[in-house]
Amino acid sequence: MTRSPRRIAKLSLAVLLAALPAAGSLGCGGISPFLAAQFATTFLLVPRPGPAPNPNPPPDDPTSASLSSVCDLTMEGQRGITVTIENQAQQRVRFVMTFVVSAGAGGFVCDAEVQNYLNAGYTDAFAPGSASTFAIGCDTVTLLSGTRLLVVAFGADQLPEQFLQPNVGGDPNATLPTIQLRRRDNGDDTIPLPELIVFGNSTSNFVCTGNDLCTQRGFVYSSVNNLPIGKAADALHIQGSVCNTGFGTAPEWRLDKTTLDSQVQTFQYPVGANLVITILDRSGDSLADPRNQVVWLVTDFNGTTIHNPLP
């Protein structure tokens, strides 16, 4: 699909660093400081603070702006995201990820786009207006604006047709087995834009261990009999997750919603993004091994590379 040019700017690092003292003060059950996503997640135990804040941050740019609604995006291609998953491992791989977005009055999904989201497979996480939180495994998503939380899950714990078949021989130069995430209605590969991508769920193979959100697993190396093999790829070992980048303890990737003079953060993807996720052949890594097991290549609406894979 050919994508039209777009202009998207991103949040300055100085602004993010200035917000980090709030992150350092969070305890059990605190709320994430990253409120640009219209809602935040509950940060539990095991804090992983980010870099020290700039003691002399520059003044805010008076021309900066933040995207408040998907309808503010004028290019149709900017309102979606594409996700391809490749398996470089010599084992089958199971995965679970949930796309999350706010809707209703004040939410990110404007009324004109709600039906498009529903057609694509998003459903209400709870009856509109009846709740403000939704748990995805150990990760509690809190609605801060809007009245609806729309979610759509991809992957499965026990569905063989959702397995990523193994890369027999482990040849990194081979044509890798892939899965393309698609809309539920017409099979198109552009899925309406989420504000969060959350890894894992409440089933035994994917849920966190204890209260450590960063142990929630998005990808599990598996045998032909569905049995886990070696170490699963938890959020701490998924490149670009909030856990992996050290900005907090959330098993998530997050949408960059700034529109002027900025840089996409290491845990963010831009509007109109194309994500290529690669599972590396590292099921035998020890629990203490810091290497990424899952990496991502992220390009923006114009095809410009935002994040390169970092093994």
Report the DSSP beta bridge partners of residue 101: 150
d(CA 178, CA 187): 16
Residues paired with residue 170 on neighbouring β-strands, in sequence order: none
C-alpha angle 155-157-160 in degrees, rounded to nearest 5: 80
Average model confidence (pLDDT) for the chain?
81
The most confident of 49-53, 154-158, 259-263, by mean pLDDT: 154-158
Per-residue confidence band for 156, with pLDDT thresholds at 50, 70 and 90: confident
Interatomic CA distance for residues 188 and 181, integer angstroms: 9
Please provide residue 54's backbone torsions phi and psi, each rounded to the nearest 5 degrees: -65, 120
pLDDT in tens, 55-91: 333 333 333 468 999 999 988 889 999 999 999 999 9
Q: Count how many Cα atoms sit within 13 Å of the Cα of residue 143 in the half-sphere of its side chain.
A: 29
CA–CA separation, 168 and 215 (whole Å)? 28
